[in-house]
Amino acid sequence: MKKIFYISALILMLSLVACAPSEVDDLFDESPAARLDNAVKNYTELLKSNGGRWLMEYFANPDEEGYNFIMTFHDDGSVDISTQNAYVNDGAFFTDRSLWEVVSDYGPVLSFNTYNNAFHVFSSPLSDGSGHEGDYEFMILGADENKIFLRGKKSRDKGTVIDMIMTRLSTDEAPTDEEYFTNLSDVRRAAFSDRINNYVLTTGSGKRYICNDVTSMLWSFYPEDGTLLDNGEYMNAIITTKGIRFMEPLAFITEYDENDVAAQNFEFQPDGSLLCIDDGVTKITGPALADLFHQTQLGWMLSTVEGEISGDFLTIYNGIVTEAKTKYKTTFNWLQLGYDPAKAMYRLYFKNGKYYGSIYVNHEIVNENTIKFSFDPNAEVAFDNNGQNHYNNLESMRAMVQLLCTGEYVLSADNVMVSNPMLMKSTSNPNNYVVLKF
């Protein structure tokens, strides 16, 4: 069948050539050199057009996160390059002007051919002899009015393919370069938390991968039923104000079917999650809320802000404050739910004046968003000394423990990636709720 297809295709091609000689002649009217010269001119004009302002999503190598550069190309052959990253100007916003041109080499090549203090640190050798090993010349693979697709020239010559994208940047999106990077810093802080482990990537077929090291943009992945040691994959990424892009497609998540699309580009959604725009279904979210509550490095402070604590939580907390003032002559500071690493147990942890105390409770994950607590005052480890003292002396402290251990609590959050703050609400009495913050 394949032979028949190839022969048929050849006959079709020959017939097209025979029937349309003028079109074929037009296609090859220009010499290769002339076509390249026209491409150089066209890309030069494209870069300068409509204000000449572009965002470059730059990767120096496969082992570092990607870096953002805003480049404004001018008619006089100069370019202003702005950035904000750890390797330039001690991490503060910085911009510098240098020269650029599109030249003929491997086809049209965008070259930043004089030193730019904001940009060339990634392509210049450092004291170790290599530095970041990044590119300052880029093969232009193609373009439309708003995107230019590039490939690093030096890295390609060394056998590493690093593709990059330049996207036209309007003043509506960012009135100034510095405002863009300020906004980017805000987005990055809000998008992830370095205190959260086990983000989850879910494919369209339902396969789930655990993702860690996300704040560094040097992501690690392993199947939910596997381990990082046995099944781990690693990929570097870049974050922009709209989402993240991995340097290469995440080919390991496909089913190795020719119709699969390997995820690479993700956009932020209103709930904070990241949706793959390549396949429209692969998604990255935070861990289930009950699992997040369980993560041992987090301590969840009970909010006392008006509107963030209600019902019996508010009444009992106010009672604790009043009783502490009366019996201990102190100002009660806070209550927290969290993990005690010394005891490897969960606790109701508090500060009353200069005193800290712990009341140890058990908690159970009912489902991915629901938890319940229990407490045994006669357990071998039920209190520390201050915890027992306050439990015995403050009726309202006993009431708070009883409230926590009555029924189940459902957890909810507006942002599924960070989930801080998180609302904890009683399933039996929705008026009993409190906001938890780490």
> What are the tens digits of pLDDT across the range 362-402?
999 999 999 999 999 999 999 999 999 999 999 999 999 99
Asked whether residue 241 carries a pLDDT value surpassing 80, the answer given is yes
Find all residues with CB under 8 Å of 136, minimum gap 6, and list them: 111, 112, 113, 119, 120, 123, 154
> Same topology for domains 32-174 and 292-437, yes or no?
yes
| pLDDT tens digits, 95-109 | 999 999 999 987 999
Asked whether residue 17 carries a pLDDT value surpassing 80, the answer given is no
Contact 401, 382 (CB under 8 A): no
Q: Which residue has the tokens 């393919």?
A: 161
| pLDDT tens digits, 198-227 | 999 999 888 999 999 999 999 999 999 999
Res. 158 pLDDT band, cuts 50 70 90: confident
- Of the candidate ranges 124-128, 249-253, 339-343, 406-410, the one whose mean pLDDT is the lowest: 124-128
Please state which CATH number belongs to domain 292-437.
Answer: 2.40.128.230
Round the average pLDDT of the chain to a whole number and report it.
Answer: 91
d(CA 191, CA 188): 5
> What does the pLDDT read at residue 155?
86
Sign of torsion over alpha carbons 207, 212, 217, 221: negative
Res. 129 pLDDT band, cuts 50 70 90: low
**pLDDT > 70 fraction of the chain, expressed in percent and rounded:** 91
Contact 236, 244 (CB under 8 A): no
Contact 436, 301 (CB under 8 A): yes
Q: How many residues does the chain have?
A: 438
> What does the pLDDT read at residue 284?
98
Res. 130 pLDDT band, cuts 50 70 90: low
Closest alpha carbon to 436 in 329, 309, 264: 309
d(CA 298, CA 236): 26
Closest alpha carbon to 67 in 129, 131, 134, 125: 134
Closest alpha carbon to 418 in 182, 199, 184: 199
**Residue 389 has which token pair?**
């003292």
What is the SS3 assignment for 230? helix
| pLDDT tens digits, 39-86 | 999 999 999 999 999 999 999 999 999 999 999 999 999 999 999 999
Residue extents of the structural domains in the chain: 32-174, 192-286, 292-437
Asked whether residue 8 carries a pLDDT value surpassing 70, the answer given is no
Q: What is the DSSP letter of 383?
A: B
d(CA 310, CA 403): 13
**Residue 39 has which token pair?**
């491409």
> What does the pLDDT read at residue 404?
97
| pLDDT tens digits, 300-352 | 999 999 999 999 999 999 999 999 999 999 999 999 999 998 888 999 999 99
DSSP states of 262-283: ---EEEE-TTS-EEETTTS--E
CB burial of 278-288 (b: ≥16 within 10 Å; e: otherwise) equals: ebeebbbbbbb
Contact 372, 389 (CB under 8 A): no
* Cα maximum dimension of the chain: 103
**Residue 193 has which token pair?**
């938390």
Q: Which residue has the tokens 């030249």?
A: 103
| Chain centroid to CA 382 | 40
d(CA 404, CA 374): 8
Asked whether residue 21 carries a pLDDT value surpassing 70, the answer given is no
> What does the pLDDT read at residue 135?
95
**Fold annotation for 32-174:** Lipocalin (2.40.128)
Res. 6 pLDDT band, cuts 50 70 90: very low
